[in-house]
Structure 1
């Protein structure tokens, strides 16, 4: 829904590298790198939440940001990085606030039709993060920004990129760091969680480096990529009214490394073979201090993950006539989770293998009507599940597996002036994670969990009707009505006061409306607004409310160019209240935020920029009891060559 503040850049080359779906099913929900800069979004989670139908979902105790897409949570909407599926193999989640936006080419969300050719577990759609590629024979940029809050320096961002391309290939290098020493609180918040306006235990440090090498002989394209993310973060204490104990958790290590190969080979005039091979590693160390005294005395618990995923995929596409295409894809993925609860402890091991076979057919029924349909068959097998018990014994869980069949279709009708009317329907699945099947303890609640290796896949049946239309010569709007029905939803069931178990016991219905409007204001201005409305209906009373899902969200912006070299923009974000726990006792109040940004390009490759986030210094929280940043200032300079 959100079209770029500047003219939308072509992303055809990126799609060749990362997206395997039919061109007819291409998403309109795309943010390019210019938009990410203008919206003043430093991480992927906050950037995605500017789209209609996408909302921020914060785990307060873990200080993690994910997103919900039309109600679907982060386990139900896979994240792809340059087409490679990325997540923590154990729990299926990923802290998207650790993913910096510098060095990205675009962010894309598939909310209705999401091609099954991309792989399994796309029950609620898909998110694709695309790296930037060189656009000129030789170009680079380097920049630095300083942040202030509560009259003190509290953050800094530095970055650099260098790229080159010619007819034979390309190279792209990039590196960035975003470091926050503390989060500045809005005025009026009690000092229970902060001192002198600084939120306790709120530092974070994220570093990212990436290298991409491409060989482009003729119509073929082959790319080797490496990326590394080194993160460290703290979790601020709870400061709400529910009586939760304040915890001080610290992640000195939240690191991720990826190596992957992408290939596209033109076999003939009609046949194209695409290939993918990857290794994705994740290391996570957590120090759990359950009181301020424990933090000061360094008396806490320890948890370490050492996970990786290996995978490969092939796709063969045959082009018939001008617009008809038949594609086949096979995916293989091997997930390994290794964890230990002390530095000298034995390592628990869990390993899954997942396969997916998919086919998709695109056909031009008439000059004004296109059809796309896809089916897939997925299966997952447990290769290892070994746990070291506290008494010295070893538990080996029996092998288990699940199977799932998925299908979907889409019709797109082309009206005049580029208007389109699209109808899609799907029945897709999501396999349960290792954590959902094998977890034995819930530390936040002090409860024992019984394992359930035989959990079945969750399923969702979805219907989407979308209309893209020009309402004026320089104004365009998109609107979508949708209905999602989740069945076999995995819910935590209480067995008694001390024991719980995950079971396929839930059904949840989501229905809503997404609307986007954007266009030109005079000769020197651009404006737009995105609005999302969603209703959730949980059919089991014992399951309670859906958490972290505001009924209404809106993002609006206005950008003007008052003089040569100048650009001024204002962004407004608002959302209604959301439940922070399923019992509806904890609520995060609704809020509205205003952000300002100014840029000056004096020439010779220089750009000077300044921004104020949360201009009115509003007190707000995404999750009840966990406050977000108050007014934040940024001042920076960038040089391009």
Structure 2
């Protein structure tokens, strides 16, 4: 793919007529949604949070991680040793809360990780964040919930937009460009939707308060902080009647990035002494999704193939100077996931809907480090789920479900020393294994409008859910450079979630989403020290199902308007406990996390101010690394012309605050941006 260059879009802007008509870009690709079905199309507030396109644009969230920070229960984090932007959902990490694009899982098959900073939001219509009571129809591994990125579907004969902008440092230098375009057409019995985006950072700037270190030198420029991401997406849909739909989709992402080095006060050793670069971080997805109705019943299918190609280079790095590439590099991944799902929606009666789903997928991981032989792993995972929604009356509804998940290792060819050849590195077969898990959940939902005889409605929910996550290929077979013994029979993690919540209107102007939640985690995977064996010198480790933990807290989301003002607030209080070893601290999650914004609408002008704040957090469980609390403020003003062309300018990190999600990896300082959006 050749990314759409920003200068190309600037030329396109000049060629567009000032009389261009606006086309709403909020239309959702409903085939990509996975929701708990409700009788008579009644909505059920199951505790999920939704980030709409309007909010992503208003707060300039160009990547998925930044967009998710707008949702209650979600906090941003940064994996400094891998330069990956991630989120935690009620304390559950990226392995425990899988990411989907239009209902199709997307991740790195080897380790289950995903860098959300590589996923732009320009082609999305919304993001749904399901939490403990996520629908069982998602399939396996939704231990702590699920994140579904839902793309667009056009409704007009022709609709689209182009946009772009640039970013300037506090010194007035241009350091980043961004551009995007979306085009769609709905011709009745067929439709198409295409999108392209390009984001290019030459570097980021540190706040003026940062004190240079041996690893981080220069005049404020963050070392090795360049990144570039291009994305192309296309969907072609066939709609032979009012109920049926058949869609072929394709997404291609091409990225590259550097890993900024550790810049804290601790000694630069191990992971803190890295100069890593990814010249290749590419993902390609092809899928077919269908929806066929048979009267009151429906059948959905998804067939997909997802590939991931990655190249990592590591260089000798001393006192801010990178040197030669280190032995064993480049490290290359060549992974793929192939699968399908079948989902039935059955109307058993006027007040009873039954959902049935079957999922099948096969994950393949191939890797090569330097000149070493290529390793090969293959997993197969299946899931069958049944979920029933019963409307008892106009006030009460009940949702119950159960699923059975099964994972089997088909191939596990590793490279290194083994018991058969303890002195010589060679390709050898690891023992294969399997695992299964039963998930279940039950929820009671109460409509407050009819109960209280008021003209605005909401729902109270009381839910309990039992969920699981299978160990990844890396969990079971990685030797961590000869420091860990593989665990082929590692079992799944499990969690039990309890929630009491309310979602709905407070009055005509304000809506509230709030929840009290408790999650008990058991059989959590944790590394322990074991007796050394051949190929694993002391201290030798192994991953085992030994840990127990508890996450509990409060969520609050409140939004509404007062005259020309619009307000949006989300707050999370999270208390995590390591019940197996109370002296160890859960990492990367603050106890308090807040987002708040206010927008003033004055005819064609819109002025927006926002704040993101969080308390301190531990970055190492022993407390040796900790990042402090912070509050970061942003400002933006925009003007919309009569033809709906929009021009905006703003400031990020208004007060140039020095802060970090992970100690030693400071975030960007104050920056300025200008941007435009032109509807077609």
After TM superposition, the score normalised by the length of structure 2 is: 0.89
- C-alpha distance in 2, partners of 1:377/1:421? 29
Q: What residue number does 2:345 align with?
A: 317
- C-alpha distance in 2, partners of 1:61/1:22? 41
Q: 1:147 to 1:297 in 2, by over 3 A?
A: same
CA contact (8 A) 2:27 2:154 kept: no
Q: 1:416-431 alignment to 2 at 5 Å?
A: 416=449, 417-431=456-470
**By how many angstroms is 1:582 displaced?**
0.8
Q: What residue number does 1:232 align with?
A: 256
Deviates more, 1:313-322 or 1:116-125: 313-322
Residue of structure 1 aligned with 2:381, choices 347, 354, 358: 354
**By how many angstroms is 1:100 displaced?**
0.6
- C-alpha distance in 2, partners of 1:233/1:502? 30
CA contact (8 A) 1:506 1:543 kept: no
Q: What residue number does 2:246 align with?
A: 222
Q: What residue number does 2:549 align with?
A: 508
CA contact (8 A) 1:492 1:501 kept: yes
1:25-58 per-position Cα deviation (integer Å, ceiling 9, x unaligned): 6555111111101111111011102211111121
Q: What residue number does 1:345 align with?
A: 372
Q: What residue number does 1:4 align with?
A: none
CA contact (8 A) 1:150 1:197 kept: no
Structure number with the higher strand fraction is: 1
List gaps (5 residues or longer) in structure 2.
1-23, 39-43, 418-423, 450-455, 532-537
**By how many angstroms is 1:408 displaced?**
0.4
Q: What residue number does 2:13 align with?
A: none
Structure 2 residue 517 is matched with structure 1 residue 486: no
1:283-308 per-position Cα deviation (integer Å, ceiling 9, x unaligned): 11111124147733344532110000
Residue of structure 2 aligned with 1:471, choices 468, 484, 506: 506
Q: How many residues align?
A: 625
Q: What residue number does 1:592 align with?
A: 631
Q: 1:543 to 1:319 in 2, by over 3 A?
A: farther
Q: 1:236 to 1:174 in 2, by over 3 A?
A: same
CA contact (8 A) 1:538 1:546 kept: yes
Q: What residue number does 1:454 align with?
A: 489
Deviates more, 1:192-201 or 1:581-590: 192-201
- C-alpha distance in 2, partners of 1:198/1:636? 23
Residue of structure 1 aligned with 2:312, choices 268, 286, 293: 286
Deviates more, 1:11-20 or 1:40-49: 11-20
Structure 2 residue 322 is matched with structure 1 residue 295: yes
Q: 1:266 to 1:99 in 2, by over 3 A?
A: same
CA contact (8 A) 1:240 1:626 kept: yes
Q: 1:558 to 1:70 in 2, by over 3 A?
A: same
Deviates more, 1:386-395 or 1:300-309: 386-395
- C-alpha distance in 1, partners of 2:103/2:123? 16
Q: 1:438-453 alignment to 2 at 5 Å?
A: 438-441=477-480, 448-453=483-488
1:511-553 per-position Cα deviation (integer Å, ceiling 9, x unaligned): 100011111121x221021110011110122882111010000
Q: What residue number does 1:16 align with?
A: 31
- C-alpha distance in 2, partners of 1:252/1:16? 34
Q: What residue number does 2:9 align with?
A: none
Q: 1:73-222 alignment to 2 at 5 Å?
A: 73-151=93-171, 152-192=173-213, 193-218=216-241, 219-222=243-246
Q: 1:74 to 1:154 in 2, by over 3 A?
A: same
- C-alpha distance in 2, partners of 1:570/1:393? 59
After TM superposition, the score normalised by the length of structure 1 is: 0.95
Cα RMSD between the aligned structures? 1.7
Structure 2 residue 447 is matched with structure 1 residue 409: no
- C-alpha distance in 2, partners of 1:290/1:403? 43
Task: Give structure 1 regions of 4+ aligned residues with deviation exceeding 6 angstroms.
Answer: 9-12
Residue of structure 2 aligned with 1:32, choices 52, 55, 65: 52
List gaps (5 residues or longer) in structure 1.
1-8
CA contact (8 A) 1:338 1:348 kept: yes
CA contact (8 A) 1:107 1:130 kept: yes
Q: What residue number does 2:452 align with?
A: none
Q: Secondary structure at the match of 1:472?
A: coil
1:554-583 per-position Cα deviation (integer Å, ceiling 9, x unaligned): 000101112x22111111110000001010
Q: What residue number does 2:362 align with?
A: 334
Q: What residue number does 1:528 align with?
A: 568
Residue of structure 2 aligned with 1:558, choices 590, 598, 602: 598
Q: What residue number does 2:453 align with?
A: none
Residue of structure 2 aligned with 1:366, choices 385, 393, 405: 393
**By how many angstroms is 1:197 displaced?**
1.1
Q: What residue number does 2:530 align with?
A: 495
Q: Secondary structure at the match of 1:366?
A: coil
Deviates more, 1:597-606 or 1:609-618: 597-606
